Amino acid sequence: MLLKLTGSSCSGKSTLAFAVADRIRGVVVHDFDEIGVPRDPGPHWRHRSTELWVRRALEYQERGLDLLLTGQSPLGEVLAAPSAPEVDGIALCLVDVDDEIRRARLADRDSGRWDTSAVDAFLGWAAWHRAHARDPRHLPEAITRGSAPDMAWHRWTDWTAGDPRWSTHIVDTTGEPVSQSVDKIEQWVVEQRAAHRTGRLPLALGWVDQSG
């Protein structure tokens, strides 16, 4: 299955994912950006790269492994990727953090790289992620505008917040030690895999053909 940690920059996604990697057997961890990021990445690049990673999940699936992937693609992009219906299970977790902490981390990680407008864009993207996690009808154009032509947005754009398939778990790391956040991600991974095995996962194989 594909287990995806999503969210805006500097929420701690990669740190948590790779910390969990040594705790759970049968799970392979990758970071979305390890395939290389262009100088000016846009939605077109992110959409095509999301499809690449979905296909990678399918390769691991054939080997009996699950992929834990970190990156900024939200649930709507993952579900719209051309090959998404072929994955035998999909689960998303939004890793979030307070805006001021994110602002400080951006300054520490990339000192002098981002001006005020760029930092504000990261914070706006984080706010959009929070709303998207709750409701598929919140500003879908934020990801559908400028789309790669093969993205299948129609799979979910008529869903409502009450649809059980629209499920993004949220882990807010604000004010807690990394070890505690790692424990939460580990618990989420274990629970999603168990739900998959027992037929309780909302985004199991065949989700695209169901009605909400």
Each residue of 86-106: pLDDT tens digit?
Answer: 999 999 999 999 999 998 888
By three-state DSSP, how is residue 196 classified?
helix
Q: Where are the domains of the chain?
A: 2-209
Which of residues 178 and 33 earns the better pLDDT score?
178
143 contacts: CB under 8 Å, gap ≥ 6: 43, 74, 76, 77, 132
The predicted model scores a pTM of 0.93
By three-state DSSP, how is residue 66 classified?
strand
Taking phi over 0 as left and psi of -120 to 50 as alpha, with beta for the rest, 206 belongs to left
Encoded tokens for 22: 């040594």
Question: For residue range 172-208, what is the model confidence (pLDDT) as tens digits?
Answer: 999 999 999 999 999 999 999 999 999 999 999 999 9
pLDDT band at 58 (very low <50, low <70, confident <90, very high): very high
By three-state DSSP, how is residue 81 classified?
coil
Phi, psi of 53 (to 5 degrees): -70, -35
CATH level 2 (architecture), domain 2-209:
3-Layer(aba) Sandwich (3.40)
